[in-house]
Amino acid sequence: MHRLYLIPTLAINLSIILLPAILTIALAFFRWDGISQPVFVGFDNFQALAGDRVFWRALTNNIIWTAIFLTIPIGFALLVASMLLLISRGRILLQVIFFLPIIIATVITARVWQGMIFNPVSGIFGWLEQFGIHLTNPLTKTATSLYGVAAVDLWHWWGFLAVIFFAALRQVPAEQIEAARLEGATFFQMLRYVLLPGIKSTIMLMMIMTVIWSFLVFDFVFIMTRGGPAYSSEVLSTMAYRLAFYDLNVGKAAATALVISLFGLVATFFYIRAQAKDGDL
């Protein structure tokens, strides 16, 4: 009887996710423009990807993105979270403030940064010009476009991590912290020997999620640069999107999607294992 309870969830999930996912795997071996009859081409799409400079650029950018997001926001969030633990006043207010960016839609955040910060006419960058401080809009230069987009995503992301780490830190037994304090531990010793080991599993989980999300990153790149200029900020997901909907090369887009999924799959394996360890599975 209880099997029936699963029908709505599974029917929706299988038809929206699983079936199209299987079709994507199949499409990766076909040439298809989305309209006419698909033609089987074997590994041609993958060979085309291997010979495509944009693909390697995008893959490299995803790896750079992963490296950035595994270090800067996690480090900063850990610092801020443990500092929240030190103070007694203003914790709730600060948490609410740090959480704000994650609830603001990516399009809004992107436009505010483009117009009010990076823009050489209407933004802070233009305003600084009066004082002889010359900053170019990072989104318009091939050398900096990816980092410009990453800066905005960092702003959007780190506070969420800080709140998660703070919630985890609060579960570190008070006696351990008290003992370290009595032994005269400094703030960084406390962090190194008590706080960080105490929330190791949360940090690990967030690092796994970071790897997964870094290979999925789409919104900020698509909205702010569309992968440009000259593909300098292209990532795999924007490349796949462009291939499917602008170039109407759905087969090659599907092949790109499989590459994205491959990285996700490895990380997902660790994710499920981490969840299972806690008795969820």
Minimum distance from residue 101 beta carbon to another protein (Å) = 6
Residue closer to another protein, measured from CB, 9 or 143: 9
- Separation of alpha carbons 55 and 49, rounded Å: 6
Inter-residue long-range contacts of 75-78, CB under 8 Å, 24+ positions, other chains counted:
76/158, 76/162, 77/158, 77/159, 77/161, 77/162, 77/164, 77/165, 78/162, 78/165, 78/191, 78/196, 78/203
- Separation of alpha carbons 31 and 136, rounded Å: 42
Binding of residue 23 to another protein (CB under 8 A): yes
Among positions 238-267, residues that touch another protein (CB under 8 A) are: 240-241, 244-245, 250, 253-254, 256-258, 260-261, 264, 267
x/- letters, 39..58, toward another protein (CB under 8 A): --------------------
Among positions 88-147, residues that touch another protein (CB under 8 A) are: 88, 90, 94-109, 111-113, 115-117, 119, 121-124, 126-127
Closest CA relative to residue 221, chosen from 208, 231, 207: 231
- Pinpoint the alpha helices (H) of 105-183: 106-112, 124-129, 145-169, 174-182
Contact 233, 144 (CB under 8 A): no
Residue closer to another protein, measured from CB, 2 or 134: 2
Minimum distance from residue 195 beta carbon to another protein (Å) = 10
Among positions 155-184, residues that touch another protein (CB under 8 A) are: 155, 159-160, 162-164, 167-168, 171, 174, 177-178, 181
Buried b (16+ CB within 10 A) or exposed e, 78-106: bebbbebbeeeeeeeebbeebeebeeeeb
Residue closer to another protein, measured from CB, 44 or 155: 155
Among positions 212-231, residues that touch another protein (CB under 8 A) are: 212, 215-216, 218-219, 222-223
Q: Which of 64, 70, 79, 196 binds another protein (CB under 8 A)?
A: 79
- Separation of alpha carbons 179 and 24, rounded Å: 56
Residue closer to another protein, measured from CB, 145 or 249: 249
Question: Which window, 51-59, 63-71, 72-80, 140-148, contacts another protein (CB under 8 A)?
Answer: 72-80
